[in-house]
Every structure is written in C-alpha cells, then in structure tokens.
C-alpha cells in the first residue's frame, strides 16, 4: 500500500514528520532509538499488515529521527520532550481517549509507557514491543551506552560491544549532536506507575531479545497484560513478519 507523509508543528514549533498507511481506526506507532517510521514500520511491511487488518497506521518520526527536524538548541529538549511530541501528535489528529491504539518499539515503547502512565493519553489498547523492566527502571545505564556511542563515535572499532549501535547510528544519518541532547532529556521510570496502565496491553518481544531486560516480567507487572513472544533479537525482531502479525492480531481481537 502507498503511504503518505505529512508534517505538523509540535508543542515548541519543531516540525515533525508523520507517515500514514491505510484507512479505519487509528493506530499510533512509535519507533526505536536512532531508527524511524520507515525503518521500523514501513520497510518490513508492518504498516501494510495493519492496513490489511482495517487500521489506519499513524507513524511518527521522533524529533532527531527520520524526516523530522533535529534542532541543536538545548532548549528544544526539555524533560519528557518525546512524550510532549506524542501528545501534540494526538492533538493534531484529534485522537480522543479510547478512540485509538498505541504501539511502540524500544524507545517508542518506553515513550508510550510514560505517556499512558502519566495520564497524558488513554489509548484503547497498548502494544509494547522490545521492552522489559530494565529498559524502564534502568534507563540511565542504557542511555550511557548510547552516549558513549556518540562521544566515542570515531574511535569505536569492530569487536567493541558498542560497534553495532555505532554502525546503525551511522547508517541512519542521525545528527549526533541533537541525539546527545535528546538522550539527556529522558530519565528513569517509576515502576509503581505501571499500575496506572489499565487498558488491555500486549508486551511483545523477540525470543532472543534481552537488551531491555525481561519482557515477561514487565507483562506481569501490568494490570491487564499478556506476553507475546516473536522470533528474533532486539535488532532483527522488527524485521520479521511475526512482529507485525502479532500487533495486528492483538489490536483486532
């Protein structure tokens, strides 16, 4: 199916790109760190799978990612900036409580959890992909890993644990200065706030994905969640059709 790309001004005027596929009930999809809607949702057919299931996929490019702007002004990265961008997206498209679904992968999953747990958005259903407990409560450790990738970008060599992330960051053409500012705008999550996420939730994770800790443990902490296992590691689970199929099946149930 053909996707269309639109742009809107977020809460601070930053121009963000949105890719849309399909018609029907809206589903907001949030991609992972250093990635984009194209890389996570469009390239591997997940947007098309949701469209074939009768949904309209609204796929945001976070600031600093994809076709969205990447400002280098530190003032463009207040605490919770991505949550505020998602709220601005919902306002722009008139998404009301219970009238849309929300899906996130990795950083997108983390952002979705923050957004819902703080009562900023109330989706009908929530799908959390590639995320476990450590990726929420231990974000500072994860962020420090990515900051090292940026700070030591030119000296990281093959064999270094950070080399894979460096290679991916380079392939996506992400502005490293802006990305560093974005990482500083995010903090750890209070796991007690998971109790606020009361809508049906799917925690979907690759069977070899341990990057963000235990996904089954995260599902167990949520009031109304099920754990769904799909094939793959953190990097390649998003490339497999099983991920999109699992999301579509959960949202259509």
Predicted confidence (pLDDT) per residue in 78-99, tens digit: 999 999 999 999 999 999 999 9
Number of Cβ atoms within 10 Å of the Cβ of 48 = 18
pLDDT at position 219 over 80: yes
pLDDT at position 143 over 90: no
**What percent of the chain is predicted at pLDDT more than 90?**
92
pLDDT score at 149: 92
In a domain, 222, yes or no: yes
In a domain, 233, yes or no: yes
Q: Which structural domain, as residue segments, surrounds residue 84?
A: 4-137+189-252
Domain contains 151: no
**Residue 67 domain flag:** yes
Residue 46 located in a structural domain: yes
- Domain presence at residue 75: yes
pLDDT of residue 21: 98
- Residue 154 confidence class, pLDDT cut points 50, 70, 90: very high
Q: For residue 73, what pLDDT is reported?
A: 97
Segment 129-142 shows an average pLDDT of: 92
- In this prediction, residue 142 has a pLDDT band, given cuts at 50, 70 and 90, of confident
């Amino acid at each position: 199916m053909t996707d269309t790309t639109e742009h809107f001004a977020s809460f601070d005027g930053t121009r963000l790109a949105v890719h849309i596929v399909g018609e029907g009930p809206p589903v907001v999809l949030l991609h992972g760190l250093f990635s984009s809607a194209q890389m996570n949702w469009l390239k591997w057919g997940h947007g098309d799978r949701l469209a074939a299931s009768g949904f309209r996929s609204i796929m945001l490019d976070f600031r600093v990612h994809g076709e969205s702007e990447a400002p280098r002004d530190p003032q463009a990265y207040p605490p919770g900036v991505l949550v505020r961008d998602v709220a601005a997206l919902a306002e722009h498209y008139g998404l009301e409580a219970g009238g849309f679904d929300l899906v996130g992968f990795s950083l997108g999953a983390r952002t979705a959890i923050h957004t819902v747990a703080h009562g900023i958005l109330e989706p009908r259903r929530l799908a959390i992909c590639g995320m476990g407990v450590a990726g929420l409560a231990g974000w500072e450790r994860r962020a420090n890993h990515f900051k090292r990738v940026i700070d030591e970008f030119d000296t990281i060599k093959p064999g270094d644990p950070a080399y894979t992330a460096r290679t991916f960051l380079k392939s996506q053409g992400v502005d490293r200065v802006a990305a560093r500012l974005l990482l500083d705008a995010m903090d750890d999550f209070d796991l007690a706030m998971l109790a606020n996420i009361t809508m049906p939730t799917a925690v979907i994770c690759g069977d070899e994905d341990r990057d963000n800790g235990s996904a089954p443990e995260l599902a167990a902490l949520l009031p109304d969640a099920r754990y769904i296992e799909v094939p793959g590691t953190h990097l390649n689970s998003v490339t497999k059709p099983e991920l999109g199929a699992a999301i579509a099946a959960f949202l259509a149930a």
